[in-house]
Structure 1
Amino acid sequence: MRLIECKGLSKSYGSKQALKQVDLSLEAGEPIALVGPNGAGKTTLFSLLCGYITPTAGEVRILGHKPGDNALLGRVASLPQDASLDPNFDVLTQLVLFATLQGFSKADAKAEALRVLSLVDLADCASQKPKSLSHGMAKRVAIAQALIGSPELVLLDEPTAGLDPANAKKIRELVTELAGKTTFIISSHNLDELEKLCGQVLYLELGQLTQSVSMDDNQQDQYLTLTMQQCDPDKILAAVMALPDISSIEKKQHNEFLIKHNSEEAYAIESALFSLFKHNNWQYKAILRGRTLEDKLFS
């Protein structure tokens, strides 16, 4: 059974078509990224998947059921970007309520609330009210809420937006830790973060699904992304192009170059580059196998 199946999925608000004929088939597994410019239809797609709104045309199935079906209770969860808890009640009381609404008994609901707070390292904040929490802590509590009942699918809208590096790191680590049991679909503008977390990237633009990129495609082996410290780009381009098995080298942005090669030996090009850097006393910053997500989407 597929995790998500969409056929001709469309949504209009009056004369404005927010989503246009989206065909999509996703399997459970690694985190999936949903990216696109503001107004591309990402929030509309999330809302349709959650059953908050109904499509104008087309069909969508989550784990074989229509979104919002009772059969999905506890199996699908979402975290809107602006989600917030009631400021008048402590964290534990609210999470216990949400667990009870999912069918937990009162005793089990408390145990489940404490479990998900422990997942986000905030069990010691259970008795606090949301207004006493930092922005990053409040976001982690909101993610804990989405994890109640160990859902099979969790939709996260900008989960690390506006967070300090420490809190953002905690959320990334949590997603990675739970990825074997829960499939996350993450909407974000942070391509570097998505590149580290996700195995597949969906790109929406003007309501249409224009690209679906796998981070593990075989063509990755033909490319290296090189980032140098301060350098003379023309000298780098000429020197690397003169190496054996180099098909092309292209300057992408400040001190970053995309190298395409035809070597069948896994580390031959890397070794040749290291020798070149040593000979010229050049300092490199990073060598990554494959193309960056940004380059895949926008080149």
Structure 2
Amino acid sequence: MSLIKCQQLSRRYGSHLALDNINLDLTTGQPIALVGPNGAGKTTLFSLLLGYIHPSAGSIEVFGLPPGHPQLRSKIGALPQDAKLDPDFTLEQQLSLFAQLRGMSAKAAKQEALRVLTLVDLADSLKQKPTTLSHGMSKRVAIAQALIGEPELILLDEPTAGIDPANARLIRDLISKLSDRTTFVVSSHNLDELERLCDQVVFLERGQVKQQVSLSATTETQYFTLQLQAVDDQTVLSVLRQLPDVLQVNVASQHAFVIEYQPSATALDVALLQLCHQQGWRYRLLLNGRSLEDTLFAQ
């Protein structure tokens, strides 16, 4: 099912071109990663999808409709970056209000507030005010408001930025759990996290789509990533390059090697493990494929 379609989409702020002639066609399903450096246009794209701003040129559709269309009101949820709630009202009061704005009755809205807080493991905080919460708890509440009404599309802008590992894991687990009925688009600088969550990856740079890849399509064949402990990288490179069917070996980081090999090769993973044993190398990881970082940035 068509989710997001952009055709020659551009957005200009005065003389600054934030998005430059973007073409995208994304479908519903597994979470989608939106990656790029600061200023790449990620937040601008989210704002366009939500109808907060309008294109300077080109077109954009969500579920076949223009952003801001009344029929999209119940279909889309969003977590803006650094979203904050009003400090003077309880979580129940604020989330109930948001639910009523989505068309729920007052009674149903209270039930919905409890439901979404339960999803983020904060049901006990229903009567608390935002000022009593830790940063990680506040982030989870902000995500809870995006879940109100069970939208079909949820946009998350830096959902785990600046929070502790336990809260970050809870958020990742929640996204994975809900992905069978909701499509998440996640903007983040944490490539390791996105690699765990997402299949489709859109890489923006200077307002343009530089790459669009599927991790399941690009990491199942042709690459192995081998991470070792306390070795001389140049010696390892020399030995790995002599293996049959190996096309190229690069150092991804200290003691980590990306091995490109012939698609017709068989049992290369076994050969790599045997080589580690023969050479006395202690390995930490043998990955079938390569990391998202290497997929996007390896030359």
Tell whether the 8 Å contact from 1:88 to 1:129 is kept in structure 2 after alignment: yes
Report the Cα distance in structure 2 between the residues aligned to 1:82 and 1:254, rounded to whole angstroms: 34
Query: Given residue 133 of structure 2, which amino acid in structure 1 is its aligned partner?
Result: L
Report the Cα distance in structure 2 between the residues aligned to 1:174 and 1:50, rounded to whole angstroms: 22
Query: Given residue 294 of structure 1, which amino acid in structure 2 is its aligned partner?
Result: E
Counterpart residue number, 1:205: 205
**Structure 1: gaps of 5 or more residues:** none
* C-alpha spacing 1:94/1:219, structure 2 compared with 1 (3 Å): closer
Point out the more displaced range, 141-150 or 10-19: 10-19
Match runs of 1:164-179 below 5 Å: 164-179=164-179
2:127 pairs with 1:143: no
Tell whether the 8 Å contact from 1:60 to 1:66 is kept in structure 2 after alignment: yes
The CA deviation at 1:252 is 2.1
2:109 pairs with 1:118: no
The CA deviation at 1:223 is 0.5
* C-alpha spacing 1:103/1:298, structure 2 compared with 1 (3 Å): same
The CA deviation at 1:235 is 2.2
* C-alpha spacing 1:228/1:144, structure 2 compared with 1 (3 Å): same
Report the Cα distance in structure 1 between the residues aligned to 2:278 and 2:210, rounded to whole angstroms: 44
Q: Deviations over 1:61-116 (max 9, x none)?
A: 11111111110111101111110111001111111110011011111111111111
Query: Given residue 237 of structure 2, which amino acid in structure 1 is its aligned partner?
Result: L
The CA deviation at 1:263 is 5.9
Report the Cα distance in structure 2 between the residues aligned to 1:219 and 1:120, rounded to whole angstroms: 32
Tell whether the 8 Å contact from 1:263 to 1:269 is kept in structure 2 after alignment: no
Counterpart residue number, 1:242: 242
Counterpart residue number, 1:101: 101
Tell whether the 8 Å contact from 1:7 to 1:60 is kept in structure 2 after alignment: yes
Q: Deviations over 1:28-83 (max 9, x none)?
A: 00100111111111111110000000111111111111111110111101111110
Report the Cα distance in structure 2 between the residues aligned to 1:24 and 1:243, rounded to whole angstroms: 40
Counterpart residue number, 2:293: 294
Question: What SS does structure 2 have at the residue aligned with 1:71?
Answer: helix
Match runs of 1:188-199 below 5 Å: 188-199=188-199
Report the Cα distance in structure 2 between the residues aligned to 1:153 and 1:219, rounded to whole angstroms: 26
Counterpart residue number, 1:273: 272
* C-alpha spacing 1:145/1:219, structure 2 compared with 1 (3 Å): closer
Query: Given residue 211 of structure 1, which amino acid in structure 2 is its aligned partner?
Result: Q
The CA deviation at 1:192 is 0.8
Tell whether the 8 Å contact from 2:219 to 2:288 is kept in structure 1 after alignment: no
Report the Cα distance in structure 2 between the residues aligned to 1:263 and 1:93, rounded to whole angstroms: 58
* C-alpha spacing 1:14/1:263, structure 2 compared with 1 (3 Å): closer
Report the Cα distance in structure 1 between the residues aligned to 2:199 and 2:282, rounded to whole angstroms: 31
Report the Cα distance in structure 2 between the residues aligned to 1:258 and 1:218, rounded to whole angstroms: 13
Instruction: State the identity as a percent.
Output: 54
Point out the more displaced range, 12-21 or 127-136: 12-21
Report the Cα distance in structure 2 between the residues aligned to 1:28 and 1:219, rounded to whole angstroms: 21
Counterpart residue number, 1:23: 23
Report the Cα distance in structure 1 between the residues aligned to 2:145 and 2:48, rounded to whole angstroms: 20
Question: What SS does structure 2 have at the residue aligned with 1:81?
Answer: coil
Report the Cα distance in structure 1 between the residues aligned to 2:277 and 2:18, rounded to whole angstroms: 53
The CA deviation at 1:280 is 2.2
Report the Cα distance in structure 2 between the residues aligned to 1:223 and 1:7, rounded to whole angstroms: 33
Tell whether the 8 Å contact from 2:219 to 2:290 is kept in structure 1 after alignment: no
The CA deviation at 1:242 is 2.7
Tell whether the 8 Å contact from 2:248 to 2:260 is kept in structure 1 after alignment: yes
